[in-house]
Chain A
Amino acid sequence: MEIVIISLLAGCLLGASNMITERWIGHLDKIVMIIVFILLIAVGIGIGSNQELITNLTILGWKALVIAALSTVGSIFALWFLVSKANFLQNHVTKEKQL
Chain B
Amino acid sequence: MKMIGCIVAAVLAGISLGWLLPSVINSQVLDNVITYVLAAMLFGVGISIGHNRRELVKIKAVGWRILLVPLAIAAGSLLGASIASLFFNMSLKEVLVVGAGFGWYSLSSVLITQLYNAELGAIAFLANVFRELMAFVLIPFLAIHVGKVVAIAPGGATTMDSTLPIIAKMTDTSTAMIAFVSGLILTTLVPFLIPLLLTIHYG
Contacts and interface: CB of A to CB of B under 8 A. Distances in A.
B99 A41 contact: no
A46 B154 contact: no
Contacts of A74: 76-81, 83, 99
B51 interface: yes
B6 to A, nearest CB: 7
Contacts of B156: 72, 75
Chain A's interface: helix, strand, loop or mixed, by majority? helix
B180 to A, nearest CB: 14
A11 B14 contact: no
B80 A14 contact: no
Contacts, number: 308
B127 A68 contact: yes
Interface residues of A, number: 74
Interface of B: 6-7, 10-22, 25, 27, 30, 33-54, 63, 65, 68-69, 72-81, 83-84, 87-88, 90, 95, 98-99, 106, 109-111, 113-115, 118-119, 121-128, 130-131, 134-135, 138, 142, 146-150, 152-154, 156, 172-175, 178, 191-192, 195
Given A63-B127, A71-B127, 13 more contacts: A1-B114, A15-B48, A37-B6, A37-B10, A39-B38, A43-B14, A44-B11, A53-B119, A76-B76, A79-B72, A80-B146, A96-B174, A96-B175
